[in-house]
Structure 1
Amino acid sequence: MSTDPLHSVSVTGIVVRPDDGQVLVIKRADDGRWVPPGGVLELSETPEKCVAREVYEETGIQAQPIRLVGVYKNMKLGVVSLAFLCEPIGGELRTSEEAHEAAWMTPDDAIEAAPEARGVRIADALSTGGPFVRSHDGTFLLYE
């Protein structure tokens, strides 16, 4: 049996409407938290294809990835998430089995509604820096 660490790779889509700057967020069905849409990368897909698929599956919005925002590791679960700034290119907002609510919010409202570990991805996507590398415990950022 190997003692190598096991990691899962996921993606997060920070979808920003260009006309008003609002950010797409969902209220997760499993824990009731407001977060940007995303999910687990499948073996056969690229991160860019995965983020477009996950955003569409969870919200009905078709999104085009623009740039990598950052890499975020959940230290408790061993999940590494690649966050992408995206622009909406079609679709209609809806809910899904994974998202009991889906909404466009101002960046400030979305950051405030989300746990720190997810809200920072929105802030990072809207900044001029990056890509960022951050660690968290699932809720809060971890600092060395």
Structure 2
Amino acid sequence: MLLYMSNSAREAQSTPLHSVSVAGAVVREDGRLLAIRRADNGTWELPGGVLELAEAPEAGVVREVFEETGIQVEVDELTGVYKNTTRGIVALVFRCKPSGGSERTSDESTAVDWLTPEEVSERMAEVYAVRLLDALAGNGPHVRSHDGRQLT
């Protein structure tokens, strides 16, 4: 039996699928940075998650940070775009400032802490630490790729 596939169907099959996530690089007035210890794997990361289909990126950051930490934020600016080339995840990181709320854990976080830049480098894997450090450095947005473990 001969199967026919239209050009548009062939193109759709070969189009790579990506997931878009958002994360907040939340910087307090004293320079400390908001971080969570993830419940699923115990790693320290920025609060964030998958952007919902009809959601604006800035709204997604506000929602994700609050859900995971209890901290309300105001979004300042996009500071970086980071692609996990292994998993096809594109992360948009926004520098934010806290505007209310209080720290609490969630189903997705077992700890919430305000870290110094030095503590960020000590506790986080390079691919997550660089997102916070890029947000502090400014002169972005930075665009970086990684394989899930290290920058490429």
TM-score interval for Structure 1 and Structure 2 normalised by the shorter chain: over 0.9
For 1:8, the equivalent position in structure 2 comes to 19
Supply the distance in 1 between the matched residues of 2:138 and 2:14 (Cα, whole angstroms). 39
Which sections of structure 1, spanning at least 5 residues, go unmatched? Answer: none
Contact 1:111 1:122 in 2 (8 A): no
1:133 counterpart (143, 146, 149): 143
What is the Cα-based RMSD across aligned positions, in Å? 0.9
1:102 counterpart (87, 107, 112): 112
Aligned partner letter, 1:8: S
Supply the distance in 2 between the matched residues of 1:35 and 1:12 (Cα, whole angstroms). 9
Which sections of structure 2, spanning at least 5 residues, go unmatched? Answer: 1-8
Identity of aligned residues (%): 55
For 2:43, the equivalent position in structure 1 comes to 33
Aligned partner letter, 1:129: N
Rg larger for: 2
Supply the distance in 1 between the matched residues of 2:140 and 2:58 (Cα, whole angstroms). 18
TM-score, normalised on structure 2?
A: 0.90
Shift of 1:118: 0.5
Q: Write out aligned runs for 1:85-96 (5 A).
A: 85-96=95-106
Aligned partner letter, 1:94: R
Supply the distance in 1 between the matched residues of 2:116 and 2:148 (Cα, whole angstroms). 23
Shift of 1:51: 0.3
For 2:79, the equivalent position in structure 1 comes to 69
Shift of 1:130: 1.0
Q: How many correspondences in the alignment?
A: 141
